[in-house]
Structure 1
Amino acid sequence: MSTDAAITPDARERLRIHPVEEHGRLWSELWDEGSFLPWDRDAPNPALVDLLAERGTELGLGETAGKKALVPGCGKGYDVLLFGSYGLAAAGVDISESAVKMAQACSEQALKEKPISGAAAFVTADFFKDEFVKELHAEEGFDFVYDYTFLCALPPDLRTSWAKRMHELVKKGSGYLICIEFPLYKGIETGGPPWGLTNAVYDELLGLGFEKLIHYMPERTHEVGKGTDYITVWRRKAD
Structure 2
Amino acid sequence: MDWHERYQVGDTPWDKGIAAPALVDFISEHADFFSSGKKFLVPGCGRGYDAKVIARAGGQVLAADIVEEALEFGRRDNPDGIDFRCLDIFKISERWDVSFDGVWEHTCFCAIEPEVREAYVEVMWRILKPGGTLLGVFFTNPDMPEGEGPPYKTGVDVIERYFGELFEIEWIREPSSYYPGREGREHLVLMRKRGFHR
TM superposition score normalised by structure 1: 0.75
- How far did residue 218 of structure 1 move? 1.3
* In structure 2, distance between residues paired with 1:56 and 1:172: 22
- How far did residue 74 of structure 1 move? 0.7
Cα separation, partners in 2 of 1:97 and 1:46, compared to 1, 3 Å? same
* In structure 1, distance between residues paired with 2:136 and 2:119: 16
Matches within 5 A, 1:77-226: 77-105=48-76, 107-108=77-78, 111=79, 116=80, 119-130=81-92, 134=95, 138-173=96-131, 175-189=132-146, 191-226=148-183
Cα separation, partners in 2 of 1:27 and 1:220, compared to 1, 3 Å? same
AA in 2 matched with 1:122: F
* In structure 2, distance between residues paired with 1:145 and 1:188: 28
* In structure 1, distance between residues paired with 2:133 and 2:145: 26
Q: Which of the pair has more CA radius of gyration?
A: 1
* In structure 2, distance between residues paired with 1:150 and 1:181: 8
Q: Which runs of 4+ in 1 moved over 4 A?
A: none
Q: Which runs of 5+ in 1 are unaligned?
A: 1-14, 16-25
Deviations 1:47-70 (A, max 9, x none): 11111221344x4x4xx3431111
- How far did residue 183 of structure 1 move? 3.1
Higher strand share: 2
* In structure 2, distance between residues paired with 1:123 and 1:66: 20
Residue in structure 1 matched with residue 16 of structure 2 by the alignment: 41
- How far did residue 190 of structure 1 move? 5.4
2:83 counterpart SS class: strand
Residue in structure 2 matched with residue 20 of structure 1 by the alignment: none
Deviations 1:76-110 (A, max 9, x none): 101111110121111210111111112212x34xx
Cα separation, partners in 2 of 1:65 and 1:55, compared to 1, 3 Å? closer
1:238 counterpart SS class: coil
AA in 2 matched with 1:176: T
* In structure 2, distance between residues paired with 1:151 and 1:96: 16
Deviations 1:199-229 (A, max 9, x none): 0100011101111123211111112321231
Residue in structure 2 matched with residue 28 of structure 1 by the alignment: 4
* In structure 2, distance between residues paired with 1:197 and 1:233: 16
RMSD (Å), alpha carbons: 1.9
Work out whether residues 185 and 225 of structure 1, in 8 Å CA contact, stay in contact via their aligned partners in 2.
no
* In structure 2, distance between residues paired with 1:97 and 1:228: 29
User: What is the number of equivalent residue pairs in this alignment?
Assistant: 196
* In structure 2, distance between residues paired with 1:235 and 1:192: 28
Matched, 1:53 2:15: no
* In structure 1, distance between residues paired with 2:73 and 2:163: 31
- How far did residue 235 of structure 1 move? 0.8
1:223 counterpart SS class: coil
* In structure 2, distance between residues paired with 1:234 and 1:193: 24
TM superposition score normalised by structure 2: 0.90
Higher helix share: 1
AA in 2 matched with 1:160: E
Residue in structure 2 matched with residue 19 of structure 1 by the alignment: none
